[in-house]
Structure 1
Amino acid sequence: MTEQVKRYKTLWLSDIHLGFKDCRAEYLLDCLNHIECDTIYLVGDVVDLWAMSRTLYWPASHYEVLRTLFRKANSGTRVVYIPGNHDEPFRDYVGHIFGPIEIRKEAVYTTLKGKRLLMFHGDCLDEHMQLSRWENLVGDAAYDLLLFLNRWANFFRRRFGHHYWSLATYIKQRIPNARQVIDVFESAAVQEAKKRGLDGVICGHIHQPALKDIDGLLYCNDGDWIENCTLLAEGEHGELELLQWTETRQMLARVGEPAAKPVADVLPLRRVG
């Protein structure tokens, strides 16, 4: 049986964090192998140099993600890389081409429906958060705990045959202070697009996938590959979709399975257009 391949015009991926132990590289590989597109935008934190400076962690799946991106770029897919804060040293090469991959500080994307969207990673908005050093330290510790709980929760879910589910995101959305920080970030992002006379923004950084209207502008956050395994995609008719790659969709298709059970599929969280 031929495995189903999804076709999109453009994909946005960010916060992959290769080199970090909680990176879900195997899910991203499955995604890249079963989606075709004309353009891929990597919206920051592709490689986690912060994590690698503390502990060298680079399994084969992380290498394969980079190899697959380069293979796609060499095969005709346009790949544009906008570095984030965890891979900030690559900003020194903005304006250059790294092999077949373009490196940009930020960019403006025009959808098939004529919407002009500002693209940046999002760490430029950190000044709006106004968190104290103590709050940052507590936040980092709490996030590490969330990822620890998320890791073990999904270990047991796999053992019982359940698909991947982000416990970390579930908890985060129910903490008032965390929700407030997310709201401030989203508002600041659309205000930056508004100041430039654009129709919306595409970013990452806060690991909170979203596709929604804020004050008449489009806010798109493609999420991450630590907690949520999400990406943003533009279809061939100009519709924008926030997609979640789930564990239940990544198993190899068996010979003779009906076409309704592809090896991998995407679950649309939200669609615009």
Structure 2
Amino acid sequence: MNAITRIAAFQDNAPAYPEARRQRRRYRTIWVSDIHLGTRGCNAQMLIDFLDSTDSETMYLVGDIIDGWRLKRNWYWPAAHNDIVWRVMKRAKRGTRVVFIPGNHDEMFRQFSGMTFGGIEIRRNAIHETADGRRLMVTHGDEFDTVVMCHRWLAFAGDYAYELLMRLNTVINAVRQKFDLPYWSLSKHAKHKVKNAVEFISRFEEAVAH
């Protein structure tokens, strides 16, 4: 609750109607997840540029938008992170349906499921209907994650290593940019490798048990 209160106390410095609004691309639905506001590795400016150049009927914020784990240990909330929050709230005010589905890193918001704040709906999960009539369940998916549910200690240990990986990631991508190479996520690559190892161990344990 302390993190929620501190975030809510920040002033709105985001422009109401950015210049880029006149050139915005229009979509039916936009999906945003795993932003991790509150961490130094968050690519806030990239998200601000994206928000300022797009519009949609619906926006889903699918978990880990705010990194409560990190904020509890070390408070870090620059103006750019606050600008993102206000930009999203202004979308909701202009008529975009904004649905926030908390993940494991921002699980402190799950206690507000079913409520609406600043025009933003908070849900544990949601049903999205596509343009061709298909119905999809929208959820962060941490309850289906072997690492998060069965090896929670590993999830927390990984979080401690996350900031180091992101600092390395910044250096790596600075070099890649000089060679005109696209952005590459070191943390995503490492997380994928760790999860593969855990799933392999879990399957081995099941095989031995049977």
Q: Is the 8 A contact 2:147 2:198 kept in 1?
A: no
1:15-56 Cα distance to aligned partner (Å, 9 max, x none): 111111101110000000001111101111111111111111
Structure 1 residues 91 and 65 mapped into 2: Cα distance closer, same or farther (>3 Å)? same
Give the one of 70, 73, 81 matched to 2:100: 81
Structure 1 residues 136 and 9 mapped into 2: Cα distance closer, same or farther (>3 Å)? closer
Structure 2: unaligned runs, 5 residues or longer? 1-19, 201-210
Q: Which amino acid aligns with 2:180?
A: H
State the secondary structure of the residue aligned to 1:76: coil
Structure 1 residues 137 and 11 mapped into 2: Cα distance closer, same or farther (>3 Å)? closer
Relative contact order, higher structure (CA 8 A, sep 6+):
1
1:165 aligns to 2:189 (yes or no): no
Cα distance between partner residues in 2 of 1:173 and 1:55: 22
Point out the structure with the larger strand share.
1
Cα distance between partner residues in 2 of 1:170 and 1:102: 28
Cα distance between partner residues in 1 of 2:168 and 2:191: 15
Q: Which amino acid aligns with 1:115?
A: R
1:26 is matched with which residue? 45
Scaled by the length of structure 1, the TM-score of the pair is 0.58
Give the one of 93, 118, 141 matched to 2:112: 93
Q: Which amino acid aligns with 1:58?
A: W
Q: Is the 8 A contact 2:28 2:56 kept in 1?
A: yes
1:58 aligns to 2:77 (yes or no): yes
Give the one of 67, 90, 108 matched to 1:48: 67
Structure 1 residue 133, shift from structure 2 partner: 6.5
Q: Is the 8 A contact 2:66 2:105 kept in 1?
A: yes
Q: Is the 8 A contact 2:37 2:66 kept in 1?
A: yes
1:106 aligns to 2:125 (yes or no): yes
Structure 1 residues 153 and 102 mapped into 2: Cα distance closer, same or farther (>3 Å)? same
Structure 1 residues 65 and 130 mapped into 2: Cα distance closer, same or farther (>3 Å)? closer
Cα distance between partner residues in 2 of 1:40 and 1:46: 13
Q: Is the 8 A contact 1:153 1:167 kept in 2?
A: no
Point out the structure with the larger helix share.
2
Structure 1: unaligned runs, 5 residues or longer? 184-273
- Identity of aligned pairs, percent? 41
Aligned residues: 181
Structure 1 residues 171 and 15 mapped into 2: Cα distance closer, same or farther (>3 Å)? closer
Q: Note the aligned Cα RMSD (angstroms).
A: 3.0
